[in-house]
Amino acid sequence: MQRIMVVSDTHGRLENLAEALSKEGKLDMLIHLGDFEGDDEVICEMANCKVLMVPGNNDFFSTLNREIETEIGKYHVLLTHGHYYYVSLDLKTLRDEGIARGFDIVMFGHTHRPVINVGDVITMINPGSLSYPRQQDKKSTYIMMEVDDKENINFYLKAIE
């Protein structure tokens, strides 16, 4: 079983990330979907595992690639912050782009609102924000992914209380 934590929009406030990392224990990978605001090296040290990270609209001086294409289990995955695809308006542009480019899963941030939308054609994932949540309950959220031995993936939305 592979365990992957997906986070986004920490915006320089790492207390909740530290709490989530402590709560979840050993991870195989951490995915950060942007707006880390210069904390990329600190986050990599905190994670103590493989880290994939893309910059967000507030990561002005980041030299990281704005998107990552990767494989997780048997799935072709796109990691992006989402602001280039107008995700604050709706998910159609990003969904269409993901389908056109042959992705099984698209992970994005930017909206500060969690999404787990497992579809027949494509799965859309947003962990929300660990620092500035915008959904109605205002809980700081992240997603845990578990990849089993048959490479099936389950997503779990988790909150910092």
Condensed to tens digits (0 to 9), the pLDDT of residues 123-144 reads 999 999 999 999 999 999 999 9
pLDDT at 161: 78
Contact 31, 79 (CB under 8 A): yes
How does residue 84 score in pLDDT terms, banded at 50, 70 and 90? Answer: very high
Find the mean pLDDT for residues 152-161: 94
**Which domains, ranges and CATH numbers included, belong to the chain?**
2-160 (3.60.21.10)
The reply to whether the predicted model has a pTM over 0.95 is: yes
Residue 21 has pLDDT above 90, yes or no: yes
Q: Which residues pair with 30 in a beta bridge?
A: 5, 51
Residue 69 has pLDDT above 90, yes or no: yes
pLDDT at 79: 98
Find the mean pLDDT for residues 117-124: 96
pLDDT at 128: 98
Q: Rounded distance, CA 125 to CA 16, Å?
A: 20
The rounded mean pLDDT for the chain is 97
